[in-house]
């Protein structure tokens, strides 16, 4: 694998490969969450915006790469993807998308109780119960995948 002193990433365990049963359970969860999101009426573009925003917050290059391509395939525009990190400062996102993004951010960083309550109240105004639940599940799932990739040091091909 090379000189581990020169390449600390080579000392990382790819936990998805090391523990495939656990990883497959996470993939099955993601499949169920994707179906839940679709049943709740969250379109693929919004799901990918959530995946991307959470991955931006967590700094997961691997998931950013995967979900940028998925968002583009789902019809998302390069302009909106380019300003996603500053979504609050643009009018390019609908009230529904803004509510989902705020809720996803609050799910990703639940330590800020005030921001979490504000996000939930905003979500209550723009999303129904199924959409709120699906949004939170999408955020929880991508957070888990971010940690798998970050801690395994998955490389962007």
Q: For residue 83, tell me if it sits in a domain.
A: yes
Give tens-digit pLDDT for 20-62: 999 999 999 999 999 999 999 999 999 999 999 999 999 999 9
Instruction: Provide the terminal-to-terminal Cα distance of the chain, rounded to the nearest Å.
Output: 17
| CATH at 54 | 1.20.1290.10
What the block records as the tokens of 135 is 């949004």
Q: For residue 88, tell me if it sits in a domain.
A: yes
Per-residue pLDDT 10s for the chain (157 aa) are: 344 455 655 688 999 999 999 999 999 999 999 999 999 999 999 999 999 999 999 999 999 999 999 999 999 999 999 999 999 999 999 999 999 999 999 999 999 899 999 999 999 999 999 999 999 999 999 999 999 999 999 999 8
pTM (2 d.p.): 0.92
Q: For residue 54, tell me if it sits in a domain.
A: yes
Element (H, E) at 76: none
Q: For residue 60, tell me if it sits in a domain.
A: yes
Q: For residue 110, tell me if it sits in a domain.
A: yes
User: Which structural domain range is residue 85 located in?
Assistant: 19-152
The DSSP secondary-structure symbol of 84 reads G
Q: For residue 12, tell me if it sits in a domain.
A: no
Backbone φ, ψ for residue 39 (5° rounding): -65, -30
Q: For residue 14, tell me if it sits in a domain.
A: no
Alpha helices in 6-89 (DSSP H): 15-18, 20-40, 44-58, 61-73, 78-83
Number of domains within the chain? 1
Q: For residue 91, tell me if it sits in a domain.
A: yes
The Cα-based distances of 49 to 8, 19, 22, 31, 37 in angstroms read 32, 29, 26, 17, 13
């Amino acid at each position: 694998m090379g000189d581990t002193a020169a390449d600390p990433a080579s000392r990382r365990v790819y936990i998805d490969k090391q523990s495939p049963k656990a990883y497959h359970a996470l993939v099955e969860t993601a499949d169920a969450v994707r179906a839940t999101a679709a049943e709740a009426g969250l379109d693929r573009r919004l799901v990918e915006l959530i995946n991307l925003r959470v991955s931006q917050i967590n700094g997961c290059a691997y998931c950013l790469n995967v979900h940028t391509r998925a968002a583009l395939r789902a019809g998302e525009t390069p302009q909106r993807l380019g300003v996603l990190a500053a979504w609050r400062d643009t009018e390019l996102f609908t009230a529904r998308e803004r509510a989902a993004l705020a809720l996803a951010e609050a799910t990703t960083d639940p330590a800020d109780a005030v921001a979490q309550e504000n996000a939930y109240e905003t979500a209550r105004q723009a999303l129904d119960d199924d959409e709120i639940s699906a949004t939170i599940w999408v955020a929880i799932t991508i957070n888990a995948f971010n940690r798998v990739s970050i801690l395994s040091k998955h490389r962007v091909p």
